[in-house]
């Protein structure tokens, strides 16, 4: 009896349950694969904040360069981009 019960349970699980589970998650992934309006708004806000922070940093660098041109740490001679740290990354 036990030998007959195992194939009766295992075969439907393999041929019906597993494909259903895979297709279910593929459908969910495709449905939720794009950004929501709130996500896009948050990314726009973060981009604007990053732009403002970059402008502020550039202003601070101009002020510091005007007051003390030697404020930056010395660079090693193998650096090819000079004093601009943003190009080093």
Burial of 69 (0-12, 13-18, 19+ CB in 10 A): exposed
Is pLDDT above 80 for 24?
Answer: yes
pLDDT at 34: 79
pLDDT tens, residue by residue, 28-81: 888 877 778 898 999 999 999 999 999 999 999 999 999 998 888 766 655 555
Whats the size of the chain, residue-wise?
89
The pLDDT-based confidence of 16 (bands split at 50, 70, 90) is confident
pLDDT at 22: 92
Q: Provide φ and ψ at 10, rounded to 5°.
A: -70, -40
Q: Return d(Cα 25, Cα 23) in angstroms, integer.
A: 6
pLDDT at 1: 61
């Amino acid at each position: 009896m036990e030998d007959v019960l195992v194939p009766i349970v295992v075969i439907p699980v393999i041929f019906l349950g597993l494909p259903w589970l895979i297709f279910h998650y593929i459908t969910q992934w495709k449905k939720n694969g794009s950004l929501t309006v709130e996500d896009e708004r948050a990314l726009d806000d973060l981009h604007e904040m990053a732009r403002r922070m970059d402008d502020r940093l550039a202003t601070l660098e101009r002020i510091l360069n005007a007051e003390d041109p030697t404020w930056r740490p010395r660079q090693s001679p193998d650096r090819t981009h000079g004093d601009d740290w943003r190009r080093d990354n």
